Amino acid sequence: MAKTIVVIGAQWGDEGKGKIVDLLAERFDIVVRYQGGHNAGHSVQVGDRSFVLHLLPSGIVHPGKTCVLGNGMVIDPKAFFQEAERLMEQGVEVSPSRVKISSRAHLILPYHRALDHTSEERLGNEKVGTTLRGIGPAYEDKVGRRGIRTADALVPDVLRSRIERNLEDANRIIMAYGGQKLSADEIFSEMSQLTERLSPFIADTTHYLNVAATQGKSILLEGAQATLLDVDHGTYPFVTSSSTIAGGAIIGTGLAPNRLTGVLGIVRTYTTRVGEGPFPTEMLEGEAEMGQLIRERGREYGASTGRPRRCGWFDAFATRYAAEINGFSSVALTKLDVLDALDEIKVCVGYKVDEQELDSLPSVSQEMRRAEPIYARLPGWKSSTLGTTEMNALPPEARRYVEFLSAQIGVEIGLVSTGPERSQTIVVQDSALGRWMAE
């Protein structure tokens, strides 16, 4: 059976999924996104060229690879064409011959963006801190059975009647919160033009992927967001609105579950979070300077929204949980070089909570809200690891840090990333990931 590997963020996003998917894509035939939308920002650096992918899989940078936007995604057609145009200016081909969008993927319409704003305003102090891209409201319509799928939008009467019906309700909410009433005619006119341009890209990607798998094509599934942002398994309600875990790849593509041959977890050597919600190891108060140092060294500013990312220490409790629910076969550990300047590195190995209380708490979200981290302290290496390509060339303290994290997570480390560029990578040949790369 050909390999079908799913790549999953193990923390709260921005672990470096884009870099690793780009690196792996060369060894795969098809690269697929299966959930989320342009809330994602995946950065790829090849030599001195930088790319940021929002809707398109990071495999797009490799000529000749087929890219699929699966049924589990929510797609803003305007954002799709903006991204496609930017990539084409950078010399990347984005054409229907290599990009397929599922006929079952749902559209993000202008009223979804407006509703994302009103929803956040209504929540006030309890807001989620969304990317304001309309992601949540589009998924609400999908589950509420009022959504508009890409294929529906190609039938003008269907598009118009659904816009009119949905906008009636949306406008009530938007105007009640002081927003501007939206016009169904304007939205119809804009969307019908955009979806017509989209039509050559639209395909039955479920059938396409299952046939490809049967024919022995290798498939790389690129998760967006991350485990702790999963709508079921994350730190609810401070989550995104899709299934970001490995199981989501099945639902979001229609590939049969027994097609999956491996799960790769992307884990950063420290943690960041954008938006609100619990974050036990966040560097606050006494550690604000350390947080700032990491933010600057790691360039921790959102690839989609430019927001400064909250920074914190590595959380082994959270990452073990991610390993458990995703079943990581291997882990790619990213951004080791960012820690080069530190004298000492803290790792949260667990939380101080009453065991009995823990048993009765239903979700990682509540556990984290009450959590007080227990820290191990490891010595830093105070020398540059930037661009290192061999494990043996790492300072002993850095190697120890990598081994310590692997033991804490309970999963092998198949790759260590030592810089943003494709080649700034250590691959552990004798690992599941090493074997996927050799095949």
- The answer to whether residue 275 forms part of the interface with ligand GDP (CB under 6 A) is no
Tally of CB atoms within 10 A around 58: 29
Report what 130 binds from ligand IMO, ligand GDP, Mg ion, none; CB cut-off 5-8 Å by kind.
ligand IMO
Q: Report H helices in 56-183.
A: 77-89, 110-123, 135-143, 156-176
Closer to ligand IMO by CB, 128 or 174: give it: 128
Span from 202-210, 218-226, 280-288, 339-347 in contact with ligand IMO (CB under 6 A): 218-226
- Give CA angle at 365 (359, 367), nearest 5°: 40
Question: Judged by CB under 6 A, does residue 299 bind ligand GDP?
Answer: yes
Q: Which does 419 bind (CB under 5 to 8 A by kind): ligand IMO, ligand GDP, Mg ion, none?
A: ligand GDP
Instruction: Give which of ligand GDP, Mg ion, ligand IMO, none residue 338 binds (C-beta under 5 to 8 Å, depending on kind).
Output: ligand GDP
Residues 17-46 that bind Mg ion (CB under 5 A): 41
163 binds, among Mg ion, ligand IMO, ligand GDP, none (CB under 5 to 8 A by kind): none
The DSSP 8-state label assigned to residue 177 in this structure reads T
Choose between 9 and 419: whose C-beta lies nearer to ligand IMO. Answer: 9
Please report whether residue 388 would count as binding ligand GDP according to CB under 6 A: no
Identify residue 134 by its one-letter amino acid code: G
E strand spans, 276-320: 310-312, 314-315
* 46/50 Cα distance (integer angstroms): 6
- Per the listing, tokens 């390509």 go with 389
Closest CA to 340 of 414, 398, 290, 387: 398
* Binding of residue 222 to ligand GDP (CB under 6 A): no
Task: Give the CB-nearest residue to ligand IMO.
Answer: 275
Which residues are known to be catalytic? 14, 42
Omega before 156 within 30 of 0, i.e. cis? no
Q: How far apart are CA 113 and CA 54, in angstroms?
A: 16
Interface pick for ligand IMO out of 6, 10, 40, 228 (rule CB under 6 A): 40
Residue reference for tokens 């990578």: 425
Between 14 and 421, name the residue whose CB sits nearer to ligand IMO: 14
Q: Name the one residue in this structure whose structure tokens are 């730190």.
A: 235
The count of residues interacting with ligand IMO (CB under 6 A) is: 23
The residue from 11, 15, 245, 321 that contacts ligand GDP (CB under 6 A) is: 15
Q: Is 33 left (phi over 0), alpha (psi -120 to 50) or beta?
A: beta
Residue 30 interacts with ligand IMO (CB under 6 A)? no
Q: Interface with ligand IMO includes 32 (CB under 6 A)? A: no
Half-sphere exposure of 88 (CA within 13 A, CB side): 9
Q: Which stretch binds ligand IMO (CB under 6 A): 33-41, 199-207, 247-255, 258-266?
A: 33-41
CB contact set of 157 (below 8 Å; sequence gap of 6+) = none
The answer to the question of residue 134 lying near Mg ion (CB under 5 A) is no
Query: Is the sign of the CA dihedral 20, 26, 27, 31 positive or negative?
Result: positive
338 binds ligand GDP (CB under 6 A): yes
131 contacts which partner out of ligand GDP, ligand IMO, Mg ion, none, CB within 5 to 8 A by kind? ligand IMO
Smallest gap, in angstroms, from Cβ of residue 304 to ligand IMO?
6
Per rule CB under 6 A, is residue 280 in the interface with ligand GDP? Answer: no
Contact assessment for residue 154 and residue 195, using Cβ atoms and an 8 Å cutoff: yes
Residues binding Mg ion (CB under 5 A)? 14, 41, 303
